[in-house]
Chain A
């Protein structure tokens, strides 16, 4: 494992970020310096269409390649290969294509981009217009989707457990939010509360985007993650339930949903997808009380003011502080901070 030596130790940067998060909506320089890695910057600069194939001729002449920094969309079809950026099939403002998965990805990238811009004032994943790259049909019957640091990757599913992963906006909202986390809090993806927070923020934003795109509020939203990608024999099941963690699925193929409902079920080390249920329900309780818009805004501001080693209690303290600032500015209800703390206590954070 490579060793990195920092002049200012990470725990001091974390403490500076913690203090600043209680005082301001703006992320501190300590938080920013704790987060963005040189590897990510290099990856951004080197990502060009056709690079994977080694020549500009690989880019279809009729397609639009958006200029860098314009939050433009680029959709690649990996044609069932375990390679990235195999064939560019649609660029920003290009017409729909024959591939449903490519068009789904194009549309959902646009919706996620629109949500972050209109509801949260954020210009793409990095808040600087990073172009949005998606790969569809990655691998053969690939039963997953992911953000790899520079692109969103969708599998087609095997038809037994999952259908094509472009079929649910939860997926795109969740995975692109891993990118937002990468450029903001930089939460370490470890098998403890920090990793669970990373996962949870993606579910929070994915769920908020799903509700917004479907014109639902906290009372009419289903609070399920991944319900639209379950294969036909698993219709009615979902991957996660933010309202009632541990109840998303129970069947012979998948087993039973193992997420704990609150801190009484917490243990570590644990896969981040397990303990994220605790903070997912925290978000649900807040939104049910003060509305989805207010809850989402508080969590977005919280994400911008956390740091790579933050844990549940840190998130609750920062969220309450941000709620007070937003309430002062009349952007959330006056009692938002109390609602945040009450929900955290209900979930057993303290």
Chain B
């Protein structure tokens, strides 16, 4: 499956996007990160209003059966998902 990222917000307001085929990811840390993402998209939390000016991450899982999305403020990102976000951010490019 494909996981895509759109990052925005914070001081810069800069919008970045990237995507990755999960087959390219390996290792137990990545497996846990993907599991955490699957759990979040199945029950997305509502971002508190006070957090919305923070950098935000919109993560989407793309499957043939459809897309599932979750949006997280920076302070809401679970530690277990950081490896996935770091890789997606490393690949991200500004939206021009």
Contacts and interface: CB of A to CB of B under 8 A. Distances in A.
Contact of B11 (A2, A39, A174, A198): A174
Given A2-B46, A189-B53, A145 B75 contact: no
Given A82-B79, A199-B13, A253-B94, A148 B49 contact: no
Interface residues of B, number: 27
A175 B11 contact: yes
A146 B10 contact: yes
A145 B96 contact: no
A349 interface: no
B95 to A, nearest CB: 7
B11 A254 contact: no
Contacts of B10: 144-146
Nearest to B8: A271
Given A82-B82, A148-B75, A271-B13, A255 B94 contact: yes
B52 interface: yes
B50 to A, nearest CB: 4
Interface string B11-39: 11111000000000000000000000000
A188 B49 contact: yes
A165 interface: yes
Given A140-B86, A199-B13, A271-B8, A255 B96 contact: yes
A162 B13 CA distance: 13
Residue of A82, A84, A171, A174 contacting most chain B CB atoms (<10 Å): A82
Nearest to B96: A255
Interface of A: 1-2, 37, 39-40, 82-84, 140, 143-149, 153, 161-162, 165, 171, 174-175, 178, 182, 188-190, 195, 198-199, 226, 239, 253-256, 271-274
Given A143-B12, A144-B55, A199-B53, 14 more contacts: A2-B46, A39-B50, A84-B75, A144-B74, A146-B55, A147-B54, A148-B51, A148-B54, A161-B14, A182-B50, A254-B96, A255-B94, A271-B13, A272-B53
Interface of B: 8-15, 46, 48-55, 73-75, 77, 79, 82, 86, 94-96
